[in-house]
Structure 1
């Protein structure tokens, strides 16, 4: 009965859907039209209005983030888009996009790849101008990992003499967020500084855990101190300088530092997880003419995981620390964008990437591999109503040598309708851990062997898109097929290896799987008049292992987002009321089975007072209005970690001059 009710709700949501939930109430249709058709960069690598991009792309704007009182990347992607889901357990947080896990998704910040287990947590949402989402393979422009899609977080770089803002938010379970931005412009020099603090207490959804008797197979419930959501804190600081040498040449320098620490129950764990990341980069842009630009960049991202022991374990005493993994990602690239007359806009570039890994847990020390690439992409205006994008990347990988990934997309405009079709090939090279990782698990009597002979995973992505655009109404439908081959999974070598290997079961990573993902995404956004805006999103994904026909791990078939907003301004005061809901179907886990479906509804109010150079913006609301909790016994596949209904309060202060 629950499945039937959920399906009915999802079908109703089809008519009010949005792959991007921009949701800003507008004082007039012109303002809404501008909001629905922003200038984007991720689809083609050049600045282009979204409606004129042959490659379908969706956008979450800063206004949508503000109206939903978003303070984290995970919140933004789960509350405002239907084709994403998140799973958090003892191993950290993993994301699924269009049926594939996050190892197949490329996450960028201003075009720079974010690495490490805490990549999402490092993003300061108070500094986000928009989030651009490109569904499907994009290896022609972005190389490895862009098989399921690309997410590009664009930060705000607007320059005022002084721009300072703080955002504070607090809700139950000690969930606290503090965001600070300080921008300063002095002549040709601009400075952008941001700081983010996040913390929360831990909580249980159930004080019990299922335990299976090894002899009888009987399952019983026993008390546990394990928490569904672990207490933690994190700090993230970033600094960027830009210097405009003249009206053609500009330089930039950037750096950031991030650290986080968990606080786990000592009765259940021997150590806490300590993460830290530092990144730095520099670049230059030379503008030959308005649409002809040369850019050069270098970027380095360095991530470390440590264990902080809270009780004695083996050779480690309480209070000691052990480095477990260190990764480094270096990228240098040179790119040119050339305006070749009225019909051609050519992007060409070259890129060099080197990755490093040191891991005590995997018994690896300073191993590395490099990748070099060249690419070209032409944006072609065939006729006044027909545009095309044709691109190709040639990659030379240290282990796999040559590989090419083509991409072609077409856009046909007919009055208020846009029709798109695209094909892209993609690839994902095995990680250093997948290539060289050897692990022993004495509890499971299991040995995992390294496999330096792994091949890249490859895919073919096809999409058809239709869009109707009106100044106060948009409707978009996208159907896609993603076929992935040479997928890496575990292959059992023997279940009788005690004499030869010292372990009963021996396995190895191999290119043994194939996947077939078919899906349809709907989008809808409308301005109803009188300050009312209504939008939402629905995504149907059929993600299956093509060999076994089983669902892909962590995938779900149905998800929807719905949002309604009312806003009105009285002189210097503006009130915004936002009601949004996340409706999610069952999520599949190979180990734990299906997590149940659920609905989460939130009510947000924002009160904006404009006082000359100051803006005061208190907010208050209710999270999880209907008090949903997944209170099953402790497991690693909770539907959602929400502790139940909660009130929150927030305050934003901005100074601009």
Structure 2
């Protein structure tokens, strides 16, 4: 009897895994032209199953249970559509109505659950793969700078610093498919050609994402095409040796899928001015001021030569339409190449990641996801040596190890409520030879819950909270509330979110000694977490040919970590000319308004743009926040037309930025600049391949900040330049 029971249990399990499974296949075409729709996303209701159409518009959904299924079909250029299909059908033909503005995009970042962009209770801005391709951009920095006015970038000898609404990248959480990226090169190591969309959430989001999400969240969603074969290559070359190449190779065979991508970026170095700016420091205010009479010739470059490589690999196995497993990993390296006559060392960065995930849909109203992820970053000094000298080798500047394990469940309660709950464990490790840190550790545990409820037909509410226990900083709770009301073509949104950021291990333990000045920064084990309160109001108008969104926000940050200047006596005791210590001495306020619009004019023409106004204040000094910009505008104009197997896209893209404030260069702010690019992309749809050559002009009006080296540059662009590109996509 016992054997029979065991056998029955085993057979029951096998039945669950191998119940009658069927496939559904077909083609997606444009309703207006009848042309195949490439890259349409198809998802099956109450299932993990999904796929994307290939260049011929074809799709195949595998391993579905017998019965009827509802297919949800979306594409950035078409109106979303739902189709009821019977099992085993192999000739499904889906005709999508053209949509000239992006109104059907699905997003996840605002609430951690799937919503149409216009239905999201929290406003999220989206940059799609189509936007990136038509603007012919090759790096994440270019994408965020040229397509979103809320971002700004500053490049120095130690790398590039990003800011979002006036707050630097210490306060910005960068995710790839919902997984946090650690280290100094989070943006640089993202493969542009592998992006499906970029979701940007302004303001605090600690209830959903934990520490670091005080300023905002960038979530990069990568391609997950489940076609039998998906091969593509994108190459771009411009002046100053600026070269990029990206290769994607995706394969799917039955229940198994493999996703591989590679990206190479490189550039030569260039000067903007052969002189080096000279500065002196006011002894009372500690502010720098320019001394032009002391400018000297230099061989140092405003932008140094570099190269980087990024490899991503992901495998998935779908047991059935409700259970799947996946593993993933990546490797990234970056090195600059500075003039041997001017520098003693180069910088080298290296990152590798690995992770695994499980997704299980218990039934149509319950979904579970378990995930483990590790991000490992190392930064080194690589000594530069001349012929005849003995190489000094490398010195580890910093090594960061980040581990994250999470379990999340989403449960639908009736037709109007969705409840999310999850657990998360994070462990971080820091080692640095230069700072004499052999390995410092910190762990954080958290539980979070969120309730999404539709109170009546056009009114939604989201309430969430995260309870955090940190090894050093103990307990803290971060709540958030978001409301959305829909009236005709208008959305009205309001939200509050609490932000929370624990001090990093580097801020707690590292002692930094500047290599260019005799300045020492000492550790502080008594730092407190930084906290914030974020308030937002949003009005959005959505129409088939026009969208307009306006948001006003206030972000109040307290216990900010800044540098406390120490007395000359303490500096002398430490053996240096100057000394400072990190401390919770600052408060800040960011108030602003953002505007975004898109419009289809007709005859293939569309226009769009954005505006960001910021009023930032460091309440400790009553000065603006360092590196903040008050007014930024972005704009684009596009035209597309097709004749037979040929399609032409023309894109004019611009950014106008007011002067950038700098605490360090108080008397020498970065000046106003305006930069415009003209891009053309030519698509030839041949029998077995799509060829997409591109030609364009960057910095159309030759805007160059040619002040001496070491100035507070507004832009490092070398000036007007031409580029060529070629995209190759194989049909199958």
For residues 566 and 486 of structure 1, the distance between their equivalents in structure 2, rounded to whole angstroms, comes to: 49
How far 1:442 sits from its partner (Å)? Answer: 8.4
Matched, 1:150 2:224: no
For residues 26 and 130 of structure 1, the distance between their equivalents in structure 2, rounded to whole angstroms, comes to: 16
After superposition, the Cα gap between the structure-2 partners of 1:344 and 1:486, relative to the gap in structure 1 and judged at 3 Å, is same
**Runs (4+) off by over 6 Å:** 23-29, 213-218
For residues 473 and 29 of structure 1, the distance between their equivalents in structure 2, rounded to whole angstroms, comes to: 19
Matched, 1:110 2:177: yes
How far 1:271 sits from its partner (Å)? Answer: 1.2
How far 1:272 sits from its partner (Å)? Answer: 1.1
How far 1:260 sits from its partner (Å)? Answer: 1.2
For residues 178 and 39 of structure 1, the distance between their equivalents in structure 2, rounded to whole angstroms, comes to: 29
1:351 pairs with one of 424, 438, 443: 424
For residues 530 and 581 of structure 1, the distance between their equivalents in structure 2, rounded to whole angstroms, comes to: 22
Partner-residue secondary structure (3-state), 1:497: helix
1:644 pairs with one of 708, 714, 719: 719
Number of residues paired by the alignment?
Answer: 633
1:485 pairs with one of 551, 558, 570: 558
How far 1:492 sits from its partner (Å)? Answer: 2.2
How far 1:220 sits from its partner (Å)? Answer: 1.7
For residues 229 and 193 of structure 2, the distance between their equivalents in structure 1, rounded to whole angstroms, comes to: 16
Is the 8 Å Cα contact of residues 576 and 607 (structure 1) preserved in structure 2? yes
Q: Report 1:172-211 matches (<5 A).
A: 172-211=239-278
Q: Residue in 2 aligned with 1:13?
A: none
Structure 2 unaligned runs (5+)?
1-74, 80-94, 283-289
After superposition, the Cα gap between the structure-2 partners of 1:319 and 1:194, relative to the gap in structure 1 and judged at 3 Å, is farther
How far 1:495 sits from its partner (Å)? Answer: 2.4
TM-score norm. by structure 1 comes to 0.93
Q: Residue in 1 aligned with 2:446?
A: 373
Q: Report 1:193-272 matches (<5 A).
A: 193-211=260-278, 219-272=293-346
After superposition, the Cα gap between the structure-2 partners of 1:34 and 1:577, relative to the gap in structure 1 and judged at 3 Å, is closer
For residues 288 and 324 of structure 1, the distance between their equivalents in structure 2, rounded to whole angstroms, comes to: 47
Matched, 1:274 2:348: yes
For residues 88 and 653 of structure 1, the distance between their equivalents in structure 2, rounded to whole angstroms, comes to: 32
Partner-residue secondary structure (3-state), 2:142: helix
How far 1:347 sits from its partner (Å)? Answer: 0.8
For residues 693 and 504 of structure 2, the distance between their equivalents in structure 1, rounded to whole angstroms, comes to: 45
**What CA deviation, in whole Å up to 9, does each residue of 1:364-423 have, x standing for no partner?**
111110000000011110000100110000000000100000000000000001000000
For residues 207 and 580 of structure 2, the distance between their equivalents in structure 1, rounded to whole angstroms, comes to: 34
Matched, 1:135 2:202: yes
For residues 110 and 213 of structure 1, the distance between their equivalents in structure 2, rounded to whole angstroms, comes to: 46
For residues 181 and 613 of structure 1, the distance between their equivalents in structure 2, rounded to whole angstroms, comes to: 17
Matched, 1:414 2:414: no
Matched, 1:97 2:164: yes
How far 1:441 sits from its partner (Å)? Answer: 4.9
For residues 342 and 413 of structure 2, the distance between their equivalents in structure 1, rounded to whole angstroms, comes to: 64
Q: Residue in 2 aligned with 1:559?
A: 632
Structure 1 unaligned runs (5+)?
1-22
Larger RCO, structures 1/2 (Cα 8 Å, 6+ apart): 1
**What CA deviation, in whole Å up to 9, does each residue of 1:592-643 have, x standing for no partner?**
2310011001000011111234111000000001011000011252101100
Is the 8 Å Cα contact of residues 101 and 600 (structure 2) preserved in structure 1? no
Is the 8 Å Cα contact of residues 213 and 219 (structure 1) preserved in structure 2? no
For residues 440 and 124 of structure 1, the distance between their equivalents in structure 2, rounded to whole angstroms, comes to: 34
TM-score norm. by structure 2 comes to 0.84
For residues 252 and 392 of structure 2, the distance between their equivalents in structure 1, rounded to whole angstroms, comes to: 45
After superposition, the Cα gap between the structure-2 partners of 1:419 and 1:30, relative to the gap in structure 1 and judged at 3 Å, is farther
For residues 328 and 530 of structure 1, the distance between their equivalents in structure 2, rounded to whole angstroms, comes to: 53
For residues 491 and 304 of structure 1, the distance between their equivalents in structure 2, rounded to whole angstroms, comes to: 28
2:368 pairs with one of 279, 294, 309: 294
Partner-residue secondary structure (3-state), 1:589: coil
Matched, 1:626 2:668: no
**What CA deviation, in whole Å up to 9, does each residue of 1:447-493 have, x standing for no partner?**
32211110000000000000011100011100000000000011123
2:684 pairs with one of 602, 609, 612: 609
Is the 8 Å Cα contact of residues 210 and 219 (structure 1) preserved in structure 2? no
**What CA deviation, in whole Å up to 9, does each residue of 1:158-214 have, x standing for no partner?**
210000000000000000000000000011000000000000000000110123589
Q: Residue in 1 aligned with 2:623?
A: 550
Is the 8 Å Cα contact of residues 208 and 223 (structure 1) preserved in structure 2? yes
Deviates more, 1:221-230 or 1:436-445: 436-445
| Root-mean-square deviation (Å) | 2.1
Matched, 1:582 2:638: no
For residues 213 and 584 of structure 1, the distance between their equivalents in structure 2, rounded to whole angstroms, comes to: 28
Partner-residue secondary structure (3-state), 2:661: strand
For residues 488 and 69 of structure 1, the distance between their equivalents in structure 2, rounded to whole angstroms, comes to: 39
Is the 8 Å Cα contact of residues 574 and 607 (structure 1) preserved in structure 2? yes
**What CA deviation, in whole Å up to 9, does each residue of 1:125-184 have, x standing for no partner?**
101000000011000010000001000000010210000000000000000000000000
Is the 8 Å Cα contact of residues 373 and 393 (structure 1) preserved in structure 2? yes
Q: Residue in 2 aligned with 1:306?
A: 380
After superposition, the Cα gap between the structure-2 partners of 1:206 and 1:156, relative to the gap in structure 1 and judged at 3 Å, is same
Q: Residue in 2 aligned with 1:74?
A: 141
Q: Report 1:462-541 matches (<5 A).
A: 462-497=535-570, 500-541=573-614
For residues 515 and 138 of structure 2, the distance between their equivalents in structure 1, rounded to whole angstroms, comes to: 41
Partner-residue secondary structure (3-state), 2:566: strand
Q: Residue in 1 aligned with 2:412?
A: 339
Partner-residue secondary structure (3-state), 2:506: helix
Q: Residue in 1 aligned with 2:128?
A: 61
Higher Rg? 2
For residues 505 and 640 of structure 1, the distance between their equivalents in structure 2, rounded to whole angstroms, comes to: 30
Is the 8 Å Cα contact of residues 137 and 426 (structure 1) preserved in structure 2? yes
**What CA deviation, in whole Å up to 9, does each residue of 1:89-145 have, x standing for no partner?**
101001010110011000000001111111111100101000000011000010000
**What CA deviation, in whole Å up to 9, does each residue of 1:234-281 have, x standing for no partner?**
111110000001121100000111111111011111111111111000
For residues 543 and 498 of structure 1, the distance between their equivalents in structure 2, rounded to whole angstroms, comes to: 32
Is the 8 Å Cα contact of residues 33 and 470 (structure 1) preserved in structure 2? no
Partner-residue secondary structure (3-state), 1:225: coil
Partner-residue secondary structure (3-state), 1:554: coil
For residues 495 and 281 of structure 2, the distance between their equivalents in structure 1, rounded to whole angstroms, comes to: 53
For residues 471 and 649 of structure 2, the distance between their equivalents in structure 1, rounded to whole angstroms, comes to: 54
For residues 290 and 644 of structure 1, the distance between their equivalents in structure 2, rounded to whole angstroms, comes to: 56
Is the 8 Å Cα contact of residues 538 and 561 (structure 1) preserved in structure 2? yes
**What CA deviation, in whole Å up to 9, does each residue of 1:25-60 have, x standing for no partner?**
889995326723311011111111011111111100
